[in-house]
Every structure is written in structure tokens, then in C-alpha cells.
Structure 1
Amino acid sequence: MLTVAVVALPDTIAFDLATAVETFGRTYLPDGRPAYRVVVCGTEPQVQAGPLRLATDVGLEALEHADTVVVPGRNDPGVPSPPAVLDALRRVAADGTRVASVCVGAFTLAEAGLLDGRRATTHWRAADELARRFPAVRVEPDRLVVDEGQVLTSGGASAGIDLCLHMVRRDHGAAVAAYASRLAVAPLHRSGGQARYIVRNTPGRASGSLEPVLDWIEQNAHRDLTLEDLARAARTSVRTLNRRFHAETGQSPVEWLTGVRVRHAQELLESTDHGVERVARQAGFPSVSNFRVQFRRLVGVSPREYRAAFAGG
């Protein structure tokens, strides 16, 4: 039986912690024996988890005997992690223990230096902040799970289930993981990653100097626009516009425009029953084929799959 130690940090996200406890705790081998022993450990006998108080089984010494250590996220990942936790994570990682994070738990792994030079993911809303604070980490915000061998990270919220099932599959094979996924009422593999959940290219994502032209794009994205049209709206040259966009958004003006159109298309797919051709036209794409290509590139699934997942009623 393998041991999983789940670290209960101060202000831990209860859902993240429970995801690891429940998924590993309800995984069984073909002969019916539990596949894992799960312990919850921390620096204190009790920790606050939003409106809840959680009791821990043992102290951080349990990490020394674990096969896998799981670090849930915290409600405010900007608050420094306890030094004792960081030291313990560094020690077990140096000994070869597998370490994984759920959601913004990636910030704790990054604080401990365990993500330096590695690919990692986190909740898509926190990905830019993770990349800014820890430039040695190669952040991949659209991924549900990033497996770097000894160190694994997962995206937001329910992506923690994907992470746990992925590790179950690594440990015990596809059959055991498939049974665990049925008990969790969750798919063993989800396509599209986090990309389908990301809210793209809203005016507030850039600073003040571009705000007028971003507002203008928001209102005119449905039109047949050229780069010259965008430059005229910004009252500047194409060259200057390109420079300002790259500096403030990390994208070209055309890339930003495409992101706005994709977001508008997502809203139409969610709220209307318009056909794909009409959605493409209303969102401003030059053709249905271009719409399908750009939508899948940015969202990770087809417009039809997106509608099936997110359309109301």
C-alpha cells in the first residue's frame, strides 16, 4: 500500500484538500484492498479552510514516510507559505519523493524552488501571477495536468481530480484508474485542458495607454477589420501599435482581435442556439473554416464540443 500525505496549509482550499483525500482514499486494487493510505498533515493540529476548521492527523514528519506528497492551494496564494513546510518539501523532494500540487498549490512548490526550470500549471486566473513571481518556472496555463516526473502540478479546482487519477494510473495502471474514475463520477481523461475556461482578451487586461483602442475593438470586432483599421482607431502608426500591443499585452493587435472574437463566439455558443455559421459571422470571423481553426487553437475543443459543455438549458 502506498502512502499519500496531503499538506494542510493555513487557509487551505477545502475542495483541493478533499479532492486528494477522497480520490486516493477511494481507490481500490483488483482484489478489493485499498490502494493508498492517506494522511493529512500540517504545522498545527487544526487549520482554517475558509469557513471550516480542519483537524490534521499528524505533523510534517509524515512527509518523510510518504510515497506522494500533495499540496492543495490556499485561498490567498500571495501569502508566504510557512518556512517549515517549504523546508519539509525540499527535504522529501531531495530524497526522491513524488510531490504534486492542486490548483494554486503550485505557488507553494514554486516558493520551495521545486518548479525551477520545470513546466507547471495552476488555475488559469493565477497563471500570469505565477509566471511573474517565479520567472524560472515555465508556466503552461491551458494544461489540466503537467507531469514532470517527480513533480506534478494541476490546474484549477476539479483539475485536481484529473491529477489524482493520472497518478493512480501511473501507480497501478489503467484498469485501477478507470474504476477510481467511475467512483469519482469523473472522466479518466478530459480533452481541451483549461483553455475552454479561460476568459480571453478583455479591455481591463491591459494598461491605460491601450484602453481606448481595446474598448473600440470590443465594440467593432464583428466588422471586417485590418491592421490599418486598428491603427487608425488608435490614432497611431501600424509600427507603433504593434510595439505597444506587444509591450502591454504580449500579443500582436491581430492576435488580440482574434481572442476578442473567440470570447464573443463563446458567449454566443453559450447563450443562443445560432448555428456555427451564424456565430462565426456575428463574431467577425472571415469564414467558418477560419472560425473553427482559431476556436480550436485557443479553446482546445471545437465550437460544437464547447456548446455541449457550456450551453445553458
Structure 2
Amino acid sequence: MKHLSILIPDGQANLMKIVGTREIFELANEIFEDQGYDPVFTIQFVGCAQQHAFVRGFVSLTPELHFKEVDRTDLIIIPAIEEEEVDAFLVRNQSLLAWLINQYRLGAQIASLCTGTFLLAATGLLDRKQCSTHWTAADEFQKRFPKVKLVTSKIITEEKGLYTSAGSFSSFNLLLYLIEKLYDRPTAVICAKDLELDIDRRSQSPYVVFAGQKDHEDEGIRQVQDYIEANTGERLTVESLAAHFAISKRNLERRFKKATHNTPVEYIQRVKMEAAKKQLETSRKTINEVMYEVGYMDVKAFRTIFRKITGLSPLEYRAKYNEEY
């Protein structure tokens, strides 16, 4: 069985995220056991002190282990912190940084919830990687960690075994994402229904589906991916990408498929449809206007690809996710 460390750092962390994380993973274990499987994780609160106080001292939580007692763990969850106390928080938790780095080097995956990203970024592990955090903390985060690629438009990011989430309840979308990845999709769906969470909320992020596909060593292909995601309104083709990056079409297709497990055409379609979904969720633009903004001119082709990827027509999707319709 794998080991899950739910971190209780020294300072004002979000009690709801700490307890909620344990609840959702314990539920996932129970669902797995009901299906005749062994639980995936042993779950423990891992802290910096014998006891941690929350809510102005009215509530306390006792960790099962001090972090120095954990020689090896498989998954670490860092809860949200109170951003107005970042300086003092990082000073108090300086000793945690080396432990997090060492656990990651030993193979642990690390997920930060909301403003917990500050602690993860302080390790340096997020340098030159994408991450998200609460939008109200974005300016402060960028000042402190200029080497990190902050993308607050995304609800979830994943890169090289490091996960981050945007603010508030989107943290639970990250937890569902982890359960889907580390258990299976049916277990994540049951957890979402039991806790009355929207498992598909991460689809609000234009490119979250593709974050994991950048976990490869081909920097040239990562540049092509970034270019596709930054130019959703253009009529992109494999030929135009090959010309732009001075690479042969055949070589581009081969390397792209090897790195991302998608063809360039599939990748372009998925990125464009995610951008279209965001427009349908948040604007009153017509279907044709959305179609043109993501670089399509053929209504039939746009609708066909949209349904293929989302399972809904553009009108059905808008009715489901845009409150103004």
C-alpha cells in the first residue's frame, strides 16, 4: 500500500482543506475496498509539531507523525495557507523545504492546494514549471517566485509529478483529479457524487487536459505546444507549425506523437475546443462567434469536433455551464 502524507505545516493553514483531503481519500479507499480491492493509500497527518491550533486556538489537530519520522512517502498534500502571513509562514517552515525536496527526489508526488503553492514554490521544485494559485495571491506570488510560470486561468496544473490548484473549492477538483489518476475514474465519480462535487469543473480551464502531456524531455515540442495554446484563434496546420519552427513535417509529427501521445492535429483540436468551452461558459457570444475566435470557419466541422471531445453540442454545453442561458 502507498503512503499519503497530508501535511500540517507550522502556521495558519486551512483546516477545512486538511480535514477534507483526508475525508475524500478515506472515501476513495472505502469505495475500492467495497469493490474487493485493497486500499490504495495509508493516510496520515504529518506535522511539524505535537499539536497544531486552528481557528484562533479553538480547534486543535494532532498529527500522527512528525515529518522527520517519514523516511519515504508516495504523495504529499500541502493545504492552503493564510497568504497575509507568508513571510512568517515560510520562515517557520524552512525545515520542511529540504524534506519536500528529498521526498520528491525519492519519487513522491506533491500536490499543493490553493495558496499552499507558496510553500511548494519555496522549494524551487516549481521553477520553470506551470502552476496555479488563488487569483488574489497572483501578484504576490509572481513577485516572490519569478522563475515559476504562474497560470491563474487554470484550475489544475500537473507537471513532472507536481500538482497545483486554483483557489477555494477548486482544491477539491484537484483531489478528485488525483483520485481519478491514482485510483480510477469510477471511484472519482462516486466520490464526487457522495460529496456533491462537480467532477468536471476542471474543464473550465482551457488547457488543463494537456498539462500532464508536457511531462517529457523534448523542449522543442514543448515550445510547439505553448505556441498552439497561445494562438487558438489562428488556423493552425501541421505544415504551418513545421515551417514556423523550421522542422520537417514528418519529424514534427513523429516527435510530437512520441512526446504527447497525440498527433499535432489532435492536440490542436483539443486545445481549440477547450478554448471554445471557456467562451461558451463565460460569454454571451454566438456559436459562430466562438467558432471564429478559435480559428474555425466550417460550422459542421466545429460542431462535429466539439461533440466528439465533450459529448455535447455547443448549444447543450452552453445551456449546462453558462448561468445566463
Q: Which of 85, 89, 96 is residue 85 of structure 1 equivalent to? A: 96
Which residue is equivalent to 1:68? 75
Residues 1:31 and 1:303: Cα distance change in structure 2 (over 3 Å): closer
- Residues 131-172 of structure 1 show CA distances to partners (whole Å, capped at 9, x for unaligned) of 221011001102111011310001112111111111111112
User: Per-residue deviation at 1:57?
Assistant: 1.2
Candidates 26, 50, 55, aligned match of 1:50: 55
Task: Determine the structure 1 residue equivalent to 2:45.
Answer: 40
Q: Which amino acid aligns with 1:69?
A: I
Question: Hey, what does 2:24 align to over in structure 1?
Answer: 23
Counterpart in the other structure of 2:204: 192
Question: Would you say the 8 A contact 1:12–1:50 is kept in 2?
Answer: no
1:78-117 deviation per Cα after TM superposition (whole angstroms, max 9, x unaligned): 2342111111101101112101100100000011111111
- 1:96 partnered with 2:112: no
Distance 1:290 1:122, change over 3 A: same
Give the TM-score, by structure 2 length: 0.59
CA shift digits 1:162-205 (9 cap, x unpaired): 111111111122122222222222122213249xxxxxxxxxxx
Structure 2 residue runs of 5 or longer lacking an equivalent are 207-281, 295-316
Change (3 A) 1:33 1:290: closer
Conservation of the 8 A alpha-carbon contact between 2:72 and 2:106:
no
Matches within 5 A, 1:271-286: none
1:122 maps to 133
**Where has structure 1 moved over 6 Å in runs of 4 or more?**
none
Provide closer, same or farther for how the CA distance between residues 74 and 20 of structure 1 changes in structure 2, counting only shifts above 3 A.
Answer: same
Task: Tell me if structure 2 keeps the 8 A contact 1:122–1:141.
Answer: yes
Matches within 5 A, 1:237-256: none
Distance 1:93 1:50 in 2: 31
Assess if the C-alpha contact under 8 Å between 1:63 and 1:69 holds in 2.
no
Distance 1:107 1:126 in 2: 9
1:213-292 to 2 correspondences below 5 Å = 289=286
Aligned to 1:2: 2
Instruction: Give the whole-Å Cα distance in 2 for the aligned partners of 1:31 and 1:48.
Output: 38
**Residues 110 and 137 of structure 1 are in contact (CA less than 8 Å); yes or no, is this contact kept in structure 2?**
yes
Q: Is this contact kept in 2: 1:110–1:134, CA < 8 A?
A: yes
CA deviations over 1:37-77 (Å, ceiling 9, x no partner): 21111110112223332211110035433210011111135
CA contact (8 A) 1:292 1:302 kept: no
Aligned-residue Cα RMSD (Å) equals 2.9
TM score, norm. by length of structure 1: 0.62
Going from structure 1 to structure 2, the CA distance change for 1:305 and 1:65 (only over 3 Å counts) comes to same
Q: Indicate which of 127, 140, 154 corresponds to 1:143.
A: 154
Q: For residues 137 and 22 of structure 1, what CA distance do their matches in structure 2 show?
A: 31
SS across alignment from 2:163:
strand
Q: 5+ unaligned residues in a row in structure 1: which ranges?
A: 195-265, 270-275, 277-287
Seen in structure 2, the aligned counterparts of structure 1 residues 173 and 155 have a Cα distance that, compared at 3 Å, is same
Tell whether the 8 Å contact from 2:132 to 2:154 is kept in structure 1 after alignment. Answer: yes
Residue 34 (structure 1) shift = 3.5
Contact kept, 8 Å, 1:86 with 1:111, in 2: the verdict is yes
**One-letter amino acid of the counterpart of residue 77, structure 2:** V
* Distance in 2, Cα, partners of 1:122 & 1:147: 13
Paired residues, what number?
216
